[in-house]
Structure 1
Amino acid sequence: MPPKLENFLPITATIAVTIFVAKEIIEYFKRKKNDKNKLNAIKNFLGQEIHQLSYDIRNSSFILSNYIDTFRNFKNLSYEIVTLKNDKYQFRVADETSEHFSSSTFPTFSNIWYEKTALLIAELDFKLFQEIQKFYNDTLDFKHKQELIIETLTHNSPTFNEEQIIEYFEMTSEENKEYLDAAYKIYNRVTGEKIIWPSKGKSNK
């Protein structure tokens, strides 16, 4: 007597389930691979932006440190804040003869790549997103402090004397170190590398 059809159903069902599970596993790993590739691509572009932000923070801090030395070593200086055509602000210092001899342009801070990719990063790696989000929030805070510096200098010019400027710059410069350390850490977290500044050829500690 030939075997009944119902005897084959459990085997058929098992095979179907096995095939389905196998397909799901394959699709899962494909998705994981695609997600990893997406995240790596985002990290690449975001890493470049964070590197630039690190440079901007470093440059802003350098401006303050540089002018601390300037106001210590030279007397009877005058200064002004000039708005450039590209909406950047330039800090200019002149001696008692009013001859312009030193200037530095405050950096701007771009977060274009973060704005474009924030939601996708949160979807792919939420813990990483939280760390990146904190850094960009801190950078925004740093930008606001720089704007406050510019506003304070503009409002008080020319009543600020050398001692007041040195004290103000020293206080702000010390705070900036924390922002720069945070930039180094998040860059390493995103790229797995350390920032190396070409001028010195040494990575940050």
Structure 2
Amino acid sequence: MESFIYAYSWIDIRFLLQGLWVTIYVSVISIVLSFILGLVFGLIRYMKIKYVSAIVGFIVDIIRNLPLLLIIFFTYFGLPQLGIVTNPTTASIIALVIFEGAMLCEIVRSGINAVPIGQMEGARSNGMTFAQAMYHVVVPQALQNMIPALLSQFVSLVKDTSLATIIVSPELLYHAQIIYSQNTTYLIPMYVIIAIMYFVVCFALSMVASHLEKKFDN
């Protein structure tokens, strides 16, 4: 019990909060950019543009079948070999955006395919262009259908940020490792507190998604 009391000193908690901030920062940036990437790639695959859609599909299939850890290693150790120097945080964001963007691409494509074809036909018959019909009619309905799958993927993304500790990104798990490496009796208290922190972040994200889902339903 004493190990919990001493492990949760203000100095250690503040240090953990600094790591949590990095985790949230990486998560938010990665969620926004990966969603944009997934939306663009999903639309390209849906529209079946000659050659382009096939190439995008091939790339997405490769990325989806690679371990995220391998992509993290490549962005941190491989990109400098190509003349692109990154710090651990930037490398982890790039890796997450690439990996999650590929995952979201399939969610977007499936969500759009789930919208009845009559919606597009009705919009076009009312004088809308293909782009206008997609923007005003099809995509909004598809997003509503995609909310549960998007939420699940975003929550997974938040948890996947912990893998960035392998390249010494100063996120939550890495800060916890620094603390319990100085005193091994703090190991269990650290894992308990970071589990609580991850739960709070992921639960808050699920609440936001639930609110959006109810808003769309209305």
Task: Provide the TM-score with structure 1 as the length reference.
Answer: 0.33
Bigger helix share: 2
Bigger strand share: 1
Q: Using CA pairs below 8 Å that are at least 6 residues apart, which structure has the higher relative contact order?
A: 2
Larger Rg: 1
